Chain A
Amino acid sequence: MSGHDYDAVNYWKANLRLIFGSLIVWALVSYGFAILLRPMLAGIPIGGTDLGFWFAQQGSILTFIALIFHYAWRMNRLDEKFDVHEE
């Protein structure tokens, strides 16, 4: 596989875009909602506490799982689209 190959470059760019988008969500739910933005979410009550607490102890973990499966599914499709998948 040559680095100057047009498809190969586009495949890698698509991968980087997907990673970048996923990591924004990753940071938003954990460092954002669960930590830094918690005071802003304090007005949303959930079971005796607030939404930020739920993200810190449940929501961020559930989001992480969704992110990985979404990434695996999209990448495996990209592999086939750009014809770099394994036989």
Chain B
Amino acid sequence: MDQFIINLLFVGGSFALYIGIAIWAKAGSTSDFYVAGGGVHPITNGAAIGADWMSAASFISMAGLIAAGGYANSTFLMGWTGGYVLLAMLLAPYLRKFGKFTVPEFIGDRFYSRNARFVAVACLIVASVTYVIGQMAGAGVAFSRFLEVDATMGLIIAAVVIFIYAVLGGMKGITYTQVAQYCVLIIAYTIPAVFISLQLTGNPLPPLGLFSTHVESGVPLLEKLDQIITELGFRDYTADVDNKLNMVLFTLSLMIGTAGLPHVIIRFFTVPKVADARWSAGWALVFIALLYLTAPAVASMARLNLMTTIYPEGVDSQPIEYDERPQWVREWEVTGLIQFEDKNNDGRIQFYNEGNPEFAEEAEARGWEGNEFTYNNDILVLANPEIANLPGWVIGLIAAGGLAAALSTAAGLLLAISSAVSHDLIKGGFNPNISEKGELLAARISMAVAIVLATYLGANPPGFAAQVVALAFGIAAASLFPALMMGIFFKRINNVGAISGMLAGLGATLVYIFIFLGWFFIPGTNNLANTPDNWLLGISPLSFGAVGAIINFAVAFAVSHATEEPPVEIQELVESVRYPRGSGTATDH
């Protein structure tokens, strides 16, 4: 069967499933729309959190990043999972006990301030909108490669599908489609990984295969990989890093940012009890770990396969001729994500690290005149089945899996945005007397507007698309996480303290990012070149969220202790979120 037909069957079949679920799980009340009625089983919620959390970045980009950076990029693995420990112990159970619909609502009530609530809404919207752009763009790429439609057309199809189940079903529809999407994406990710692990190491479990012997050469897989790439002048895959402070802070920023992202936190409002919120966090991490433990294996195995494809006789012999390049290279060349330029006109693909001065002599001796092969990190996972010569249905599965990852995260983000608008801004601000029916309609309309906006931005991504994810994590880490944690653990923090803390943490983080990446990401407006020499103590702008969080805590403590204690009823509210009894379902009042 033609590959295009197979892809169409897989993607079309999965979409039909999502729409079917949406019709079955239509939201009838604001409680259905915001928290799925509050009756979701903790394991079900764990799978939904898994899909909600694992975005196009986790599915498509992460293994490619690890393949490129080796040990140094383990930060993503630890950072994007370690945040769940913080969520489970510091936030989720207490926010579930508080029992309201949104994250800004807790901040507004706990700090008895409408302004605090609006600051939280602003942080939530900026973090979530920047994040959703990447999802929509990722869905567009997957569509254009696998279904041979224009990326914009692909985006619109994706938007229509999200529109149907998110606007109709709200959190209820999103929850059950996310469970289905989790199943699709995890099967799609692990099946090719198992095949490749078997081919290379004979071990069917990729996380074990990663540390097993490479069957063909008889040496451990990682040693083989280190050997091949260092012989071509690349950096040793398992090498240690020098700037440990930056590695620690980057990991910490990702962890705190993960715990502070509202679209993840609101998923914990859907379970019946506080105890379920704790179990849910554990199950969520189990489901997430199935992919995150596999990703580093995919990374090193795909990198090894790529090298042996180009140097089939070993790196000491000639690389392959361009005319004999495999089919997958031809197909990805069309998308521009793989590029070849025959600099020395010998018809062969020389692929090496031309930036390494120590390797220049050897390259010259072999008659090489520069690296001739470049690829985008994102293709490693998507092209993985083709690189390993797996059957056509596996490729169709990858297409459906990539789309499931992008759509499920986009839907979660869109719900966080629309509930902040309809519940925090409209009901909590401009029109407190709105009826439940009116609020439900407002929630649906804001969701629809958010989808249109996200689709537009996905089709016309601003030039700073790559930096915005850092912005989302920086904002969540520096503003939302500290405010939520202090609200639960420190009774003495008052309204003025919390607001000044959030603004100071957020401000410091944004200024630091803008100094190196340009003010509001406008190219050329940066004050300093974004190089390690210029960074304060070697801290990269992407790692600054953790520093922003520390500033937030410090300012909030200092200001709170210099001003009045919070009123008695607020101290009682803090007491009440600490004890599980009497939580009931998440409600409006």
Contacts and interface: CB of A to CB of B under 8 A. Distances in A.
B88 A72 contact: yes
Given A30-B251, A86-B583, A49 B285 contact: no
Interface stretch (B262-270, B276-284, B403-411, B416-424): B276-284
A50 B220 CA distance: 12
Interface in B540-589: 571-572, 575-576, 578-583
Interface residues of B, number: 54
Interface centre among B220, B244, B293, B581 (most CB of A within 10 A): B581
A49 B273 contact: no
B149 to A, nearest CB: 36
Nearest to A8: B579
A83 B185 CA distance: 41
A57 B77 contact: yes
B275 A61 contact: no
A72 B77 contact: no
Interface stretch (B174-182, B207-215, B383-391, B440-448): B207-215
Nearest to B71: A53
B282 A79 contact: no
A79 B275 contact: yes
Interface of A: 1-3, 8, 11-12, 15, 18-19, 22-23, 26, 30-31, 34-36, 38-39, 42, 46-50, 52-54, 56-58, 60-62, 64-65, 67-69, 71-72, 75-76, 79, 84-86
Contact of B248 (A31, A48, A61): A31
Nearest to A46: B211
Contacts of A61: 77-78, 81, 285, 289, 292-293
B303 to A, nearest CB: 14
Given A31-B248, A47-B210, A57-B74, A64 B84 contact: yes
Given A46-B211, A84-B581, A34 B78 contact: yes
B223 interface: yes
Q: Chain A interface secondary structure, helix, strand, loop or mixed? A: helix
Given A57-B77, A79-B275, A64 B85 contact: yes
A19 B219 CA distance: 43
B279 to A, nearest CB: 5
B89 interface: yes
A65 B46 CA distance: 12
Given A36-B248, A56-B74, A57-B77, A47 B220 contact: yes
A23 B89 contact: yes
A48 B223 contact: yes
B90 interface: yes
A80 to B, nearest CB: 10
Interface centre among A47, A50, A52, A62 (most CB of B within 10 A): A47
A67 B85 contact: yes
A29 to B, nearest CB: 9
Contacts of A79: 274-275, 580
Interface centre among B88, B279, B293, B572 (most CB of A within 10 A): B88
22 contacts: A1-B579, A8-B579, A15-B578, A18-B89, A19-B90, A22-B89, A34-B78, A35-B248, A49-B211, A49-B220, A49-B223, A57-B74, A60-B78, A60-B81, A62-B293, A64-B289, A68-B85, A68-B278, A72-B281, A75-B278, A85-B275, A85-B580
B222 interface: yes
Interface string B191-229: 000000000000000010011100000011111101000
Contacts of B278: 68, 71-72, 75-76
Contact of A49 (B84, B222, B282): B222
A49 B226 CA distance: 10
B212 A47 contact: yes
Contact of A1 (B71, B224, B571, B575): B575
Contacts of A58: 207, 210, 293, 296
B90 A47 contact: no
A54 B581 contact: no
A39 B74 CA distance: 16
A54 B300 CA distance: 13
B289 A65 contact: yes
Nearest to A15: B578
A29 B222 CA distance: 22
A30 B181 CA distance: 30
B233 interface: no
